[in-house]
Amino acid sequence: MRRRTFLAAGAGLAAAAAAPAHAGTRRVLHVRPGDSVQAAVDAVTGPGWTIVVHPGTYREVVDVPADKAELTLRGASRDPRATVIVYDNANGTRKPDGSGTYGTAGSATFTSAAPGLTVRDLTLANDWLRADHPDITGTQAVAAYTYGDRTHFENVRLLGHQDTLFVETTALASFDRQYFRRCRIEGDVDFVFGRATAVFDECHFHTLQRDVTFTPKGMVFAPSTARANLYGLLAVRSRFTSGAEDGAYKLARPWVPSYETTAWPSLVVRDSWIGPGIDPVAPYTDMREAYPWQTMRFWEYANSGPGAVVSVPDNRPQLTAAEAAAHTPHTYLGDWRPYAYR
């Protein structure tokens, strides 16, 4: 099978070294084809920088450390397809230095621990494919691994297969907040997962076709919310589409990691359109028998579409209107206001 292609427009632009400029009080670095996005990140010397990445495909791994606070990384075009950062490590990919494999988090094309990060108008992708590596059993391949409070993604495409987007926290006791607005997120198995307090507002979740005979072919969400956290993952005003046959996917399953067996996964999907790719009869399933989904905090409210039909009420827990009032972007994000919410 050939690798998925994320070729960007403008990839033939002449290369130019990243050069600083000034825009108001923010300091700006420009990255063009032939430059390194990571080199620009490394050149940031404190909070309040903007890195503008010009149209092209940047095949590299990018890591934004915690000391790059309040960084903005954005595509130069408003079209997120024009600027692509992509790589192809997986959990089971061996490191070049022979020290072992990358693991799930280490497979990420893009990693950030920086508080106040903003990413917008570009694509982050992991194009590793199972079919190209039948010898590798660790098939998780992360496009973006984000942790750090006040992480904001706007108009970003997040593309991968298994474990596309890892929304995590800086520590087990932290409730880091993340906000994704008008993003497209693609994958097949547990492709939005983690323990952050994460809001997905007007996002498009797309499940991929898989060349397998079993169902479910995968799950959209796998939250691992800490028991002490009132809020986990929230999808609001979003839509769910699929490239697979009807009913091939589950909406979610709970992830209780071996390193945090007290986790109490939380997911609310509300005011969203759910297409026929999601199993309407039994949209949730278990990851491990010891942690059945029925004991988790899985709820829906005011959803529509063929994948949202409530035919077996016990299989689709619904919030009341009063309960739904506690599950909004405002309540999840608290005093952080990336947007004035409707």
3-state secondary structure of 292: coil
Query: Can you tell me the distance from the alpha carbon of 254 to that of 248, in angstroms, rounded to the nearest whole number?
Result: 18
Question: Whole-angstrom Cα distance, residue 44 to residue 30?
Answer: 12
Please list the alpha-helical segments (H only) found in the chain: 37-43, 103-106, 321-324, 329-333
Let me know: does 28 contact 52? Beta carbons within 8 Å: yes
Q: Do 8 and 56 form a contact (C-beta atoms < 8 A)?
A: yes
Quote the CA–CA distance of 292 and 295 in Å, as a whole number. 6
Of 163, 176, 188, 201, the active-site residue reads 163
Q: Is 190 a catalytic residue?
A: yes
The backbone region for 82, taken as left when phi is positive above 0, alpha when psi lies in -120 to 50, beta otherwise, is alpha
Contact 84, 64 (CB under 8 A): no
Both ends of the chain: CA-CA distance in Å?
45
| 163 catalytic residue (yes or no) | yes
* CB proximity list for 60: less than 8 A, separation 6 or greater: 36, 37, 38, 85, 87
Per the listing, tokens 């323990």 go with 195
Q: Nearest-CA neighbor of 141 among 195, 190, 104, 102?
A: 104
Give the single-character DSSP code of 209: P
- Residue tagged active-site, from 121, 190, 201, 279: 190
Nearest-angstrom CA–CA distance, 318 and 311: 12
**Catalytic residue set:** 163, 190
